Amino acid sequence: MALAKITEITGCGIHLPGDDVDTDRIIPARYLKCVTFDGLGEFAFYDERFDGEGREKPHPMNEEQFKHASILLVGSNFGCGSSREHAPQSLYRFGIRAVLGVSFAEIFYGNSLQLGMPCLTLAKEAIEKIATAMKQNPETQIRVDIAAKAVTCQGEVFPAGLPEGSQSSLVEGRWDPIGELLDNGGGVDRVIGSLPYMN
């Protein structure tokens, strides 16, 4: 099962301001009881987007001009709290394909990478500049260049942080360890078969 090589992501953005946004806010615990992750996108930030009657509340993800956004802009320590993989899954299934933030919680970062949804770090000033451009024009295009570790918006290039291991796994199409294991199943069988205690 060949994985896509992710070298560049381009699209409109959506800005969720604030620091220390935890996974309980990204996906409420009551939506974790699912057999598959299908349909989780509608529950992303549910309690912040809807009231107890299911009516929409003011929230960027409810605004029509941002509903087709594929790049999420966030603050620092995004994805902290519990390690639930449902959090990045809900964002991915909402339509997000890259997250740009000041910093990320480690487990959230790893779970996102395994979806092929890279999390890149930018200076706070860069996030604010891009967010301002998006507010002025929701159709503003953001280009995330994985290979160059750079984000371009309105002709301005911002350096982005991305560990070399994460970068190479994305551009070489090795971002899903399960898929890579399945691709190399024969090699794994040979290694296991060669172990003395397996004979």
Q: Report residue 193's pLDDT band, with 50, 70 and 90 as the boundaries.
A: low
Beta strands 71-73 and 13-15 are parallel
Phi-psi region of 4 (alpha: psi -120 to 50; beta: other; left: phi over 0): beta
> What is the Cα Rg of the chain in Å?
18
Q: pLDDT (tens digit, 9 = 90+) per residue, 113-124?
A: 999 999 999 999
φ/ψ of residue 136, rounded to 5: -70, -35
Give residue-wise pLDDT tens across range 36-88: 677 788 899 999 999 989 999 999 999 998 888 999 999 999 999 988 889 99
Four-CA torsion 17, 151, 90, 56, nearest 10 degrees: 40
Distances (CA, A) of 65 to 14, 59, 113: 9, 12, 27
> For residue 120, what pLDDT is reported?
98
Domain positions in the chain are 8-174
Other beta carbons less than 10 A from residue 48's beta carbon: 17
Q: Is 79 helix (H, G, I), strand (E, B) or coil?
A: coil
Distance CA 81, CA 66 (A): 26
The strands making up 71-73's β-sheet, listed across from edge to edge, are 13-15, 71-73, 98-101, 119-121
**pTM of this structure:** 0.86
What is the model's pLDDT at position 3?
Answer: 83
Arch. (CATH architecture) of 8-174: Alpha-Beta Barrel (3.20)
Per-residue pLDDT band for 184 (boundaries 50, 70, 90) equals low
Distance separating alpha carbons of residues 179 and 123, to the nearest angstrom = 33
* Average pLDDT, integer, range 102-115: 96
Q: C-alpha angle 179/117/174, rounded to 5°?
A: 30
Q: Report, as an integer, the average pLDDT of 166-185.
A: 77
Q: Are 2 and 175 in contact (CB under 8 A)?
A: no
